[in-house]
Structure 1
């Protein structure tokens, strides 16, 4: 029941220096100098000297039951497997549908989220998909937020994209209002998570809604902001006004020779231009398809985003010179605040969920604990998904 991580450098993500961390069941029970070893009962002592002890990663945009389909039925991507997540240090996910709200269903997404939670990690979902009116479990977004425990917001609804339903400003305003009221009544974040394509409209709709209505800018989470330079510039201005922006690790110019900007480069640019780090998050778009379109809108290529790219981009951030604590924030503390789960997730503190990673000095993943259960030990998978 008790696990004592002894002698590691603890980042909450703030740097606490060398500390011990005690896990009791699924919670963090103590952080500090713990000596002698507590005598509550059997205690497993794990020596993590010269290692980093950090919060488990949060992936707030991932296609748990797969995505894609833009190139026909055979291009539908597969479901996420548990080990894809834990081996990447991901202990909390928010699942979404995406382009296809017809052959993929909210009930299936909810069932997959429950299944992954039974296997050991923490899960939430967005209700909806690209289109408006968007698909829901009950009769509307507000009801889903209030009644379905795992629904934390609405998304990913598409704007500025040829695959979207071409929503108007009024459409997005009404949807955001539903999210807001549903969030207030349920005590949840109630965010509207928006896929932003490469269309010329960019974030114009969101800026107009914020200027012309009473809906606060924090109601919106536009993602894929590093899709191209113009959209990134808009996103930085949005963050400077108090909005939150999400960068996608799934498309990276190193792996896809397009107009996208690596999240690491995008974060450095945003910080240089005065955007607060607290307003920036990263997510993987894991198991979503990454179609490549030509200027006529025809698909000329197709790849799949891997959840592991979130971890790889975190390492890129640290290696680029961003302090470890700041690099951690964009995939731990910041998304936890955005999603209003910061009391349990995204930080190492007493009575938070024991979602803990142990990294070596080269940032390799050594151990992964999800709600106190050891999922990865010495880099090897201990807990696999049911059918893995």
Structure 2
């Protein structure tokens, strides 16, 4: 499809500009050309924001679909829902599970990637575990956590055809520092989290190649002035931090403090959403665990531990605006170019520039998603859903 998006307030190079975007096929080919072109459809974006599509690197599902249990058709349902929330690309996060169930989930994700349909693009796999700390397991199944196992990770990556792009590990778990080096060589971006590691151990893993912290401050030993721990190492270093900006996982003041400490170029907004996202309160699952959602807050039935979220990316943007009071142009990178850079996608995604994938979201002044384009195709249009 060839498209001309006209009269929009387009986010480009850190600021908004009244301009147009020309799309041919799945790519942005030009900016600023307002003339009608033969054979091009037009979208009038007058009075609307036009931004790069959001990229969610940490989500376990939505609309009744749990990634650990999902078939390919289920995953496509998640992609369509995410497109309605402004997300154009996402990584399917598999929580710690049995080897059999993990391999089955990997297969379903890969089959979906091999046969894409309209919706947010499934970009790869995130393994959250199983090489995680028992003490800081959060909503993970403790009996399935294990020490670092390089042959197992190789087995998973072989089954995935190289599509495991991201993994969360705990620095203090036996064998993890060495695993980080090997994972990096395998092309996997490593995040540290679910951890009570001391400062020195965490910093050593950062030096070994860890590039991000999973859901900062959650399932993680806190900062103390005598013992900075993993939180202190993450804040002092220049690695990225995932942030769940739902108002539950992080107090708004902590979000503001995080942005001051890390800078807006090192924070990545994620949802960590579970199958309850987009649905009402009730009983759900997250991998091997039973979950209850009350007032949108997801917790383990067993002990009340918070277990993922019901957040969406567009709500994360609205929350960031409310929490910080910052202009939109300062916050958009957290949902776009930052995750793209972290996962090595910045040549194709994350900004609006000629040559980039035509992954765009059009929002009204109230930050409601009007239209989402993925690869130059309309994946969601509010008007068509009325």
Structures share fold, TM-score greater than 0.5: yes
- In the alignment, does 2:250 pair up with 1:261? yes
Deviation at 1:110, TM superposition (A): 4.3
The answer to whether the 8 A contact 1:53-1:359 is kept is: yes
**1:98–1:369: structure 2 CA closer, same or farther, 3 Å change rule?**
same
Please name the residue that 1:317 is paired with. 320
**1:327–1:133: structure 2 CA closer, same or farther, 3 Å change rule?**
same
Deviation at 1:57, TM superposition (A): 0.4
- TM alignment of 1:1-388, pairs within 5 A: 1-12=1-12, 14-32=14-32, 34-39=33-38, 42-64=39-61, 66=66, 81-102=78-99, 104-115=101-112, 118-120=116-118, 121-123=120-122, 124-127=124-127, 129-130=129-130, 131-132=145-146, 140-141=153-154, 144=157, 148-153=161-166, 155-157=167-169, 159=170, 167-168=173-174, 171-183=175-187, 190-196=188-194, 200-201=196-197, 205-210=201-206, 215-216=208-209, 219-227=210-218, 231=222, 235=231, 238-249=234-245, 252-253=247-248, 260-262=249-251, 264-272=252-260, 274-287=261-274, 289=286, 292=299, 299-300=303-304, 305-306=309-310, 308=312, 310-319=313-322, 320-378=324-382, 380-381=384-385
- CA distance in structure 2 between the aligned counterparts of 1:376 and 1:143, rounded to whole angstroms: 33
The answer to whether the 8 A contact 1:13-1:326 is kept is: no
Cα deviation digits, residues 258-298 of structure 1 (max 9, x gap) = xx424x543311233x322211111111226466479xxx5
- CA distance in structure 2 between the aligned counterparts of 1:355 and 1:232, rounded to whole angstroms: 38
**1:135–1:46: structure 2 CA closer, same or farther, 3 Å change rule?**
farther
- CA distance in structure 2 between the aligned counterparts of 1:104 and 1:143, rounded to whole angstroms: 11
Unaligned runs of 5+ in 2: 131-144, 225-229, 276-285, 292-297
Give secondary structure in 2 for the equivalent of 1:96.
Answer: strand
The answer to whether the 8 A contact 1:88-1:307 is kept is: no
**1:215–1:243: structure 2 CA closer, same or farther, 3 Å change rule?**
same
- CA distance in structure 1 between the aligned counterparts of 2:152 and 2:305, rounded to whole angstroms: 37
- CA distance in structure 2 between the aligned counterparts of 1:376 and 1:232, rounded to whole angstroms: 42
For normalisation by structure 2, the TM-score amounts to 0.75
- CA distance in structure 2 between the aligned counterparts of 1:176 and 1:48, rounded to whole angstroms: 45
The Cα RMSD (Å) is: 3.4
How many residues in Structure 1 have an aligned counterpart in Structure 2? 335
Cα deviation digits, residues 190-215 of structure 1 (max 9, x gap) = 21133425xx44766322434xxx52
**1:381–1:134: structure 2 CA closer, same or farther, 3 Å change rule?**
farther
- CA distance in structure 1 between the aligned counterparts of 2:148 and 2:59, rounded to whole angstroms: 18
The answer to whether the 8 A contact 1:8-1:49 is kept is: yes
Give secondary structure in 2 for the equivalent of 1:119.
Answer: coil
Cα deviation digits, residues 126-162 of structure 1 (max 9, x gap) = 35732445689x8644983898242223x233x38xx
Deviation at 1:180, TM superposition (A): 1.7
The answer to whether the 8 A contact 1:84-1:307 is kept is: no
Deviation at 1:318, TM superposition (A): 2.0
Deviation at 1:172, TM superposition (A): 1.3
Give secondary structure in 2 for the equivalent of 1:330.
Answer: helix
Deviation at 1:339, TM superposition (A): 0.4
